[in-house]
Each structure stands twice: as structure tokens, then as C-alpha cells.
């Protein structure tokens, strides 16, 4: 099975979102928590849908756990990178 391809920049709900990385869902959820605690909004793109929030039940019942695209609004990119300890 090939790895899903996610665009670097996308329009979602009228805004430009930038992909931070493509990574396994559980790791992406951990990054989301770190970013949310710092005030950065995130969205995850699976091969099937966009997810603004991930209910615990989805993880517990084995929802999609493969590679996902983790996106932040372009206007919060520098803040997101700083929170994750990454360079721009």
C-alpha cells in the first residue's frame, strides 16, 4: 500500500492551511495536543475526510490510524513551528 499524498498548502473553509508533516495518526494527535495547548488551531486530513476534532471513541474503535496530513492555518505557521521546536 502506498503512502497517502497530501498537498503542502490547501484551501479549507475559506482559509489557507499549511501541512506541517505527514505522520501516523497517533503521533499527529500528540502534536495536535501540544499545538492546541499553545493556542494553535489544527486540522487532520485522512485519505477519507478532514477532521477538526478527534473524539476518543474514534481512536478506541480503530478509526483510521495510518498516515495523515497535519495542517495549521498559514497565519499560525511560525507559532506552530516554535511550539514544536522546529525551524521555519
At residue 3, the pLDDT reads: 72
At residue 2, the pLDDT reads: 58
Domain ranges of the chain: 9-83
At residue 88, the pLDDT reads: 56
How far apart (Å, rounded) are the C-alpha atoms in residues 39 and 88? 18
- How remote is the C-alpha of 15 from its chain's centroid? 15
Q: Tell me, what DSSP letter sits at residue 4?
A: P
What are the tens digits of pLDDT across the range 36-79? Answer: 999 999 999 988 888 887 666 666 666 778 899 999 999 999 99
CA dihedral 21, 16, 46, 38 (to 10 degrees): 60
At residue 42, the pLDDT reads: 96
What are the tens digits of pLDDT across the range 21-38? Answer: 999 988 998 999 999 999
Write down the residue that cell numbers 473553509 correspond to: 13
What are the tens digits of pLDDT across the range 12-22? Answer: 989 999 999 99
How far apart (Å, rounded) are the C-alpha atoms in residues 4 and 37? 28
Amino acid at each position: 500500500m502506498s503512502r497517502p499524498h497530501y498537498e503542502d498548502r490547501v484551501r479549507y473553509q475559506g482559509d489557507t492551511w499549511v501541512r506541517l508533516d505527514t505522520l501516523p495518526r497517533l503521533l499527529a494527535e500528540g502534536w495536535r495536543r501540544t499545538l492546541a495547548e499553545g493556542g494553535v488551531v489544527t486540522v487532520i486530513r485522512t485519505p477519507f475526510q478532514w477532521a477538526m476534532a478527534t473524539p476518543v471513541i474514534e481512536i478506541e474503535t480503530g478509526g483510521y490510524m495510518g498516515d495523515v496530513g497535519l495542517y495549521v492555518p498559514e497565519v499560525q505557521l511560525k507559532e506552530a513551528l516554535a511550539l514544536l521546536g522546529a525551524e521555519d
